[in-house]
Amino acid sequence: MTDSVDFWFDPSCPWAWMTSRWVDEVARLRHFEVTWHVMSLAVLNEDQQVSEEYAAFFPRALKYTRLVAAANELHGQAMVKALYDALGQQIHPGSNTNPDEVIPAALAEVGLPASFAAYADSDEYDRQMRASHFDGINRVGQDVGTPVIAVNGVAFFGPVISPAPMGEQALALWDGVVALASYDGFFELKRSRTREPIFAEAVSTSASTK
């Protein structure tokens, strides 16, 4: 059976970016489609006490989630992934934290007009953005973050990985994660992070398609 895979992301999260690169690799090798959904760290933490530094990050992050939500409503699922890729390349490997530079570059890359940037500061599609967010987070609980993945209806947060594995390593990790998540009594497996996101892809190993 071909896996049905959904992926919820906040474009600003480097860990979601790492995981999305891995899921891309698995989807390529296993020949399945992924449905991409926006979620929002700003919405997730809107009633939480967070550090001043983290709170200052939310307005910038919200611009990107609003932009992707508008792209989904006006241009459909294919544009969601294209825009996520374009934004993410600027933000993460590109280390650009300035939305006034990131957004125009990303829009140009995906072929959207420069005027589309206005949606980054508009609440026009906030209802849809929030609905997408809660569709994902309600599957796993409020005490996690992004990304959220659902495979054949079974949802989980993460995995948090660095770097994104390729080839056989990507497939082995996928099969292990899906196997764990499929057990109804499994809830948590965790260890402290000892490295930051490594955006350069790992060397691909040979992989047979399945």
pLDDT at 54: 84
Cα→Cα distances 70→1, 132, 186, Å: 33, 12, 36
Averaged confidence pLDDT in the chain: 92
With a pLDDT cut of 70, the percent of the chain lying above it is 94
Q: Judge if pTM exceeds 0.75.
A: yes
Q: Assess whether pLDDT exceeds 60 at residue 206.
A: no
Any idea what the CATH number is for the domain that residue 74 is in? 3.40.30.10
Assess if residue 25 is contained within a domain.
Answer: no
Q: How far apart are CA 150 and CA 143, in angstroms?
A: 17
Q: Domain containing 125: what range? A: 31-138
Same domain for 106 and 203?
Answer: no
Assess if residue 100 is contained within a domain.
Answer: yes
Assess if residue 195 is contained within a domain.
Answer: yes
Q: Assess whether pLDDT exceeds 70 at residue 203.
A: no
